[in-house]
Structure 1
């Protein structure tokens, strides 16, 4: 058996890497800056006092395409290194014990220049040699090397001439913009040479600023008045940054994108996985030294280290919130007011944070919107309904009785309420359903039951076709004539019935199969209020037909007040009842 070697089509490989690896053509400027900075870093390892710098210039002879010139005073390359590192895809000069100091890792960055140019010219001199070497590479995989007679100080010069259709990337203002975009915080000065030398990068990065100055930077950069700036740090990822708290609420499912740098070179402003999912109320600018970017240098490897760094950064945000809660800072109230959905999610996953600021979180109750602190101060027993529909059934009655019942039907609220008893053992948490709620209503006296007997009997007969029973009790508010209640199973079947009526035949048949064998063992109930003035009159009505019409009308009204979907026969009651009342009024 013989061994064979793969054959690589260099032209095809270069086309693949240069035209399909990167998301935008102007990334070639990033790759050139990256190589220049790494070359200076390598020289400083040999000469610690060396002052590195990078220069860019655009020029064009009359009638020819523009050329970008970039120079650095870094370590340079010998002729042997030119063959080794410029002519071998995937070979890089940065694989050493000091690899962590370098930005590049893969040895393919220079190929990005073939996106915009038909030739790359590199003139270089190593600090280890007196020779000046010229290398010319083309996208078909061919290259030439020659030694130049003219002397040159150590470093590298690169010439890239635009190919047809890419001239806009070589316009001086565009080059300056892209160089600032990628290299704003690189550690060595970057100059653009035009009529005068202009420094393109900043003196200080936001992750080296105090929170106040970082807020000023955020306002200037994004024109947003952030609520606050949180310093971030991850020892594992050797990461430093600033998390900005957004001044507006965001969709809980929205993916928050962050501006992330690797060794001070911009990786991307659309990095999604660097912070935990619950932290969507912040956007961050971050520099990371120990995470590994992918070959395209636009995101990180999704590995165990990334997950650990994400946790460390998330812990930093938690510490910040914890400090605000301990100080009872009004700033926490502002953050919760804007981002309560996010902080609810955070409280669910962290018991300590739950205990610190659950009292700040707002909830809908029968007494209006209250914080959990206000609710707990009212009583050590917390009452709640598990769904919005059940809350609607009893909220008006609970309010009239000055009873605080929490609506647990919104996202995360139910879990937060039920967690109260576990975090605060002295707190009694009571789940209420509409059926059990009516059991607390006052019973009628024997004389009152006899007065209402005929009415309740007739009401039961009227409501029987709708799977509902009649009851009469005393409760507040007195202006509420009747209250409709049903069980969770009954509510499910009612909503399924309505959906089936509105769905197409296929979906309706599926609902039919799901609900065929499901029966609500607790019938719905329409509880009439003996204290209500209308009911006081109705129970004395001797006209059975009029009484039947009133019961039907009160039934539909109670359904509407409870926000229940009406079945077709109930819609008919609503329409026919109105007509019949009009007819009786006209006859009278």
Structure 2
């Protein structure tokens, strides 16, 4: 570029970007950035970096950043470090270069304070702009003239030196002219909204001016969690209001997140309703006061799915798009430390505010159980509080273990719901381990309470706990029991007679994991070809069989036992078997469905063809 006399306007040099600009814009809009909205962030970022450099050069300099939007254009003015003509050529026209260069008093000396250490800066504005005009004056070079950089989306740009009156003070103003189809992104209300969203916590005063010249503050510092409040209650109210504005819910509780060593400060809001562990929560993350993302899913441990966090950090690294956190060793360490902080909060509640802890666990016991699986100390601490569904109702394991020397558990909710009323009536301690994490925690219980025995519920344990029938009564029903066993033997099911409560339950179907595996193996063998039939046949074991326990206290069982017709007795037993299977909510095999249909039709046949007078007996 030809040199220019200071204070005189020069003819512009016409140049081309050292990149394919059209390809770059397509890359930005379709592959790097999730939305064109990020152009406002880039404008704010460049302005903040410029004034940060200016303060490093001249701490007494007056600092301001002013954003304006009207008539399809957006401009941002700052009193920052500015650029010289050579810097404009070098830094604004080449992708990958950083404007944070210079000598001892240049931008490099304040590099750690900058937001834009990654990315491509001003060129990102081409996602919404057809033309970008920059008017800048350097504060590093005394007497330097203002310089204009004018670029178009066809890849060309011009640089010229302007008269002194074009910009009398150091700093930079950037003007954007909307490209066709992008006007909505430059509407004043939209620009102001985006500026507040991205820049409310930035360290400098930023204002927005509308078309009428009315200026309103964009920044709102300090962050709500760092402000001073007259009382703890007023702080809780302020944080709850912030959570409602940001996330749309009123928090059940709040957890301060403060890691000074890692440069992380913020707050976690406890969700007021249960949420699935599979749900990926999005956390709001700021980088040096600039909003990075609302969807940082890797900020907290996976088990902390019951909170949504807002943090500001100066140590974590953004991705290339600056729309998420880069998952590196630093983030892993911060994530672990934030997890420790949430765990400490739980410990503090257990020690000092059990009522709040109980309210929290009523909603989020699943998250605490997830954490307790890997934290023996926390599990022991939470033992009196974590609720489990048991045959004694919803109680903590500590209370339940005190009432039962041996704890049995079922692996499915359906199995528990079938056995629970009977177990409760006969003093059998059963825990429903069909819910997420419960089986793992029960397995850990003996290590914490050495005197407690935990075993999976099996048919033999339940049958042994039920009241036996007298030998005389069982001998009197020997013929009936023989018929029942003969009918159910093809279904790999034994028959037992017991007396148990409640009386309304005529029969109880019991099996265990080994019996289920054997039933599945037999079913697979029935449907296999000859090769697999031989293989599955060789796997036949001596596993215990399923068991149908008939309730001698139930009047229906006694009436069936007294039927004179052996075929009718067999059909009734098959009906009891099918009804007990349905009550256990186990999946029916084809043979079971066939049995149910046959028994149902058999009873209908008997009911419609037998003597009516006999039916009344």
Aligned to 1:134: 148
Question: 2:105 maps to which residue?
Answer: none
| Cross-structure match for 1:562 | 584
Give the equivalent residue in structure 1 for 2:463: 438
Tell me what 1:125 maps to: 137
Post-superposition offset of 1:462: 2.1
Instruction: Tell me what 1:106 maps to.
Output: 118
Q: Is the counterpart of residue 149 in structure 1 residue 163 in structure 2?
A: yes
2:217 counterpart residue number: 199
Report what 1:176 is aligned to: 192
Secondary structure of 2:487's counterpart equals helix
Answer yes or no: is 1:39 the counterpart of 2:61: no
**What is the distance in 1 between the residues matched to 2:483 and 2:295?**
68
Superposition TM-score, scaled by structure 1 size: 0.89
> Partner of 1:549 in structure 2?
571
Return the match for 2:20 from 10, 27, 32. 10
Residue equivalent to 1:188: 204
Q: Could you say which residue in structure 1 is the equivalent of 2:40?
A: 29
Q: How far apart are 1:70 and its partner, in Å?
A: 1.0
Give, in angstroms, the shift of residue 29 of structure 1. 1.2
Q: 1:116 to 1:220 in 2, by over 3 A?
A: closer
2:14 corresponds to: none
Residues 80 and 257 of structure 1: CA distance in aligned 2, closer, same or farther (over 3 Å): same
Report how far residue 492 of structure 1 moved.
Answer: 4.2
Kept after mapping to 2: 8 A contact 1:206/1:242:
no
Which residue of the partner structure matches residue 63 of structure 1?
Answer: none
Matched residue, 2:493:
468
Q: Deviations over 1:84-105 (max 9, x none)?
A: 3212211113363532211001
Q: Which moved more, 1:44-53 or 1:415-424?
A: 44-53
**Relative to 1, partners in 2 of residues 1:49 and 1:380: Cα closer, same or farther, differing over 3 Å?**
farther
Deviation at 1:538, TM superposition (A): 4.2
Alpha-carbon separation, structure 1, partners of 2:300 and 2:41: 25
The correspondence for 1:165, drawn from 163, 171, 181, is 181
Superposed CA deviations along residues 125-155 of structure 1, whole A, max 9, x for unmatched, are 1222222121222334432222211241111
CA contact (8 A) 1:230 1:244 kept: yes
| Number of aligned residues | 573
- Relative to structure 1, is the Cα distance of residues 444 and 571 closer, same or farther in structure 2, using a 3 angstrom cutoff? closer
2-structure distance, mates of 1:389, 1:363: 15
Post-superposition offset of 1:73: 0.7
Displacement of 1:561 = 2.5
Structure 2 unaligned residues grouped into runs of 5+: 1-16, 102-107, 228-234
Q: Deviations over 1:435-489 (max 9, x none)?
A: 3321233444443332222222222222222222222233333443332222324
- Shift of residue 565, structure 1, vs aligned partner: 3.3
Distance 1:34 1:338 in 2: 41
Partner of 2:86: 80
Measured at CA, do residues 529 and 122 of structure 1 come closer, stay the same or move farther in structure 2, by a change above 3 Å? same
Residue 501 of structure 2 aligns to a residue in which SS? coil
Alignment of 1:378-457 (within 5 A): 378-457=403-482
Alpha-carbon spacing, 1:13–1:468, altered in 2? closer, same or farther (3 Å): closer
CA contact 1:236–1:308 (8 Å) conserved in 2: no
Cα offsets for 1:401-425 (capped at 9, x unmatched):
1433111122111111111111232
Structure 2 Cα separation of the partners of residues 35 and 514 of structure 1:
71
> What is the DSSP-based 3-state SS (H/G/I as helix, E as strand, rest coil) of the residue aligned with 2:460?
helix
Q: Which residue of 1 aligns with 2:551?
A: 529
Contact 2:255 2:345 survives alignment (8 Å): yes
Shift of 1:336: 1.3
Contact 2:426 2:466 in 1 (8 A): no
What's the offset of the Cα at 1:11? 3.0
Partners of 1:339 and 1:398 lie apart in 2 by 28
Query: Which of 115, 123, 147 in structure 1 is aligned with 2:127?
Result: 115
1:3 counterpart residue number: none
For the structure 1 residues 166 and 443, does the alpha-carbon distance in structure 2 shift closer, same or farther, using more than 3 Å as the test? closer
Aligned to 2:5: none
- The corresponding residue for 2:8 is none
Deviation of 1:496 after TM superposition, in Å, equals: 7.9
| SS of structure 1 residue aligned to 2:326 | coil
**CA 1:408/1:339 → structure 2, altered by over 3 Å: closer, same or farther?**
same
SS in 1 for 2:285: strand
Contact 1:211 1:231 (8 Å CA) reproduced: no
TM-score (norm 2): 0.85
SS of aligned partner of 2:569: helix
| Separation (CA, whole Å) in 2 of partners of 1:109 and 1:199 | 24
Unaligned runs of 5+ in 1: 1-6, 61-65
